[in-house]
Amino acid sequence: MVNIAVLGYGTVGSGVVEVIQTNQEIVNKRAGQEVNIKYVLDLREFEGDPIQKILVHDYDTILNDKDVKVVVEVMGGVEPAHTFVKQALENGKSVCTSNKEMVAKYGAELIQIAEDNNVNFLYEASVGGGIPIIRPLTSSLTCDDITEVSGILNGTTNYILTKMRDEGAAFADVLREAQEKGYAERNPEADIEGYDACRKIAILTSLVCGQQVDYEDVHTEGITKITEKDFLYAKALKGSIKLLGTYQRMDGKAYVMVAPMIVSEKHPLYHVDGVFNAIFVHGNMLDDAMFYGRGAGKLPTASAVVSDVVDEVKHMGKNIMQIWEPGKLELGNFDEWKHRFLVRIQSADIDDVDMEDVKEAFGDVLYIKAPGVENETAFVTTPIEEGKFKEAIQKFNGVLNTVRVGF
């Protein structure tokens, strides 16, 4: 029998307990021995809940119990989670977590501590919730040179964008509805400003490249400027708008970004709607693959956490090698990354926009019209460097919005 402790009895923590208790026989069989929840750590009391019998309020109770071999960290936040995890690893306990903030900031450090102490630090649930992506990248695709990872990494923003597209609704209205349904937090900043997706693509890029990517260095844009009219133009281009976290390697340089992008109907990410997430991967041997499912939620996320518990029990006393060095990855200059852009300019007539000025600034462009949209001129540029686009667009008055046009 292997004793484990769960840190935090919130949404995911209670889900971990439920998954293990509901599928106890399956979990035990696949782990090779019985998995027993000895402790649950939380500051609150849960009168009437059977968990009360194993509830503790002092982390040292878990840390000092040599019978606890695996610690499940599902508290969230960077501290005290980081301190607790570090102490557990140093005391010879394996740890698994769903904590993307902590993994993005301290992943390389914690992996090294685990290796030094012959235990494991696993974090499958930190990126795609219930979608398996960490293990495929570190175990299944180890012979591939991964040159691109692009993902819809946040269910809240994907739900909002899907509703805006399908119903022609305004961003503020859909956000309010998402909050009422529990898909968005009361303070949705981390989701709608792209910070959540930023941490996740930083983790994935770190794994693919084997070096630390600081999420503070990732160019990040949210969805707050996207309007119903942007979707009409996207439809005219036979595409839809998605918030993507993207890693690409070109000419030996790694580029990383989070931003809304018009995705063609021919690309598999186009069909990912609602609260679902998906991660598209391109490798030189694999070619294209996509991992799809619920990127959040109590039981999907808990399922991924428990899969790490099983893996750690199976590898008791043996460190699972991971390549994520603490040395910082030097990213390519974002201003040199090339994209196409949809540009919308306020105008009563297309003649109000000097086409010669447009050509001088952007070269040959594709002018487009969207049914039902008036008093605007819109065009799509050819691929242009980010820095040059930023400089060129400043020469025009009345710019309503710009959106990158992707795959």
**Residue 66 lies inside a defined structural domain of this protein:** yes
Nearest CA to 226 out of 361, 357, 11, 402 is that of: 402
- Same domain as 281, residue 368: no
Contact 310, 30 (CB under 8 A): yes
The domain that holds 148 is classified in CATH as: 3.30.360.10
* Main-chain dihedrals φ then ψ at residue 221, nearest 5 degrees: -130, 145
- Same domain as 259, residue 176: yes
**Residue 329 lies inside a defined structural domain of this protein:** no
Number of compact structural domains in the chain = 3
**Residue 279: strand pairing partners:** 151, 291
- Same domain as 305, residue 266: no
Catalytic residue, candidates 200, 229, 266, 298? 200
- Same domain as 78, residue 159: no
- Same domain as 310, residue 353: no
Reduce the DSSP state of residue 372 to 3 states and report it: coil
- Same domain as 273, residue 153: yes
Q: Burial code of 138-151, b = ≥16 C-beta within 10 A, e = fewer?
A: beebeebebebbbb
> Cα separations (Å) of 63 from 41, 45, 88, 148, 349?
11, 20, 6, 40, 70
Structural domain boundaries enclosing 256:
137-293
Report d(CA 289, CA 282) in Å as an integer: 7
- Same domain as 160, residue 89: no
Predicted pLDDT at 376:
92
The domain that holds 58 is classified in CATH as: 3.40.50.720
Report d(CA 386, CA 403) in Å as an integer: 12
- Same domain as 274, residue 229: yes
**Residue 144 lies inside a defined structural domain of this protein:** yes
Report d(CA 187, CA 365) in Å as an integer: 40
Token pair in block for residue 143: 């012979």
> Cα separations (Å) of 72 from 40, 180, 208?
9, 30, 25
Q: Burial code of 268-307, b = ≥16 C-beta within 10 A, e = fewer?
A: ebbebbebbbbbbbbbeeeeeebbbbbbbbbbbbbbbbbb
**Residue 151 lies inside a defined structural domain of this protein:** yes
Token pair in block for residue 294: 């619920």
> Cα separations (Å) of 140 from 66, 161, 214, 286, 358?
33, 32, 25, 10, 47
The residues, ordered by sequence, that sit 6+ positions from 27 with a Cβ below 8 Å of its Cβ are: 19, 20, 35, 306, 309, 310
- Same domain as 54, residue 201: no
H helix count then E strand count, the chain: 15, 19
**Residue 328 lies inside a defined structural domain of this protein:** no
DSSP 24-81: HHHHHHHHTS-EEEEEEE-SS--TTSGGGGGEES-HHHHHT-TTEEEEEE---SSTTH
The residues, ordered by sequence, that sit 6+ positions from 343 with a Cβ below 8 Å of its Cβ are: 362, 365, 378, 379, 380, 381, 393, 399, 402
pLDDT, averaged in runs of 10, over the chain (407 residues): 97 96 97 97 94 97 98 96 98 97 97 98 94 91 91 94 95 92 87 97 96 96 96 97 97 96 96 94 93 88 96 96 93 97 85 81 94 92 97 93 94
The domain that holds 374 is classified in CATH as: 3.30.70
- Same domain as 118, residue 33: yes
- Same domain as 150, residue 241: yes
Q: Where are the beta strands (DSSP E) in 284-335?
A: 287-294, 325-328
**Residue 132 lies inside a defined structural domain of this protein:** no
Running DSSP on this structure, what letter comes out for residue 136?
I
Q: Among this protein's residues, is 200 annotated catalytic?
A: yes
- Same domain as 96, residue 9: yes
**Residue 327 lies inside a defined structural domain of this protein:** no
